[in-house]
Each structure stands twice: as structure tokens, then as C-alpha cells.
Amino acid sequence: PAARLALELVESFGGDQPDLRVGLTHGPVLSRLGDLFGPPVNLASRLVSYARPGSVLVDQNFVDRLGPVEDLRLRSIRPRDLKGIGTTALYVLRRD
């Protein structure tokens, strides 16, 4: 799933590579001429702005759809007030 792919991406970027940050959420988007639009796109962008280098940050909506996954772990961090979105519960996604 997307969760594992995101972790593989941040794990593969290390050393002298640019710091990679990933934000994941879930929801409907509009695709037009190769670009994606919609609230989930904006939310994912906000998540990236709070993610630390080499991390994957997800919201409660993503957590609810992820369900239990044996080799993944979620760590709750302080909720943030995201511009244009409101207060959002955030989680760092890691391998177990």
C-alpha cells in the first residue's frame, strides 16, 4: 500500500541526498492535465510542511483507512492547526 511505498522512499533517500518528507491522507481528488486538485492534495502539502526530514506524516483519515498493519507503527504527535484546514491529529508512520 501507499504507506509502505512512502517508507521505502524516505528510507532510500539518505546520506548526501536531499531530505525527503512525505505527507499522506486519503480522499477524492480531481485529475486534470496531469495535475491533482482537491482538499486531500492541500492537506498532504500541509503535512509535508510539518514532517521532519526522512519522515512520513499522516492524518487521522489515513490512519482510519490504513487499519492494523503488522509491520507498521504509528506514533501520535501534537495536533497542529493547519492553514485553511483546522486542527488536525497527526501521526508519524514508521516500520515496526
CATH number of the domain where residue 6 is located: 3.30.70.1230
Range of the domain at 85: 2-95
* CA 37 – CA 43 distance, rounded (Å): 11
- The count of structural domains within the chain is 1
Query: Alpha helices of the chain — where are they, by DSSP H?
Result: 2-12, 39-50, 60-66
Q: Which residues pair with 82 in a beta bridge?
A: 86
- Of the two residues 68 and 21, the one the predictor is more confident about is 21
Q: Across residues 4-31, what is the average pLDDT?
A: 87
- Of the two residues 80 and 14, the one the predictor is more confident about is 80
pLDDT tens digits, residue range 46-70?
999 999 999 999 999 999 999 888 8
- Of the two residues 13 and 34, the one the predictor is more confident about is 34
Per-chain mean pLDDT for the chain = 92
Q: For the whole model, what pTM was predicted?
A: 0.87
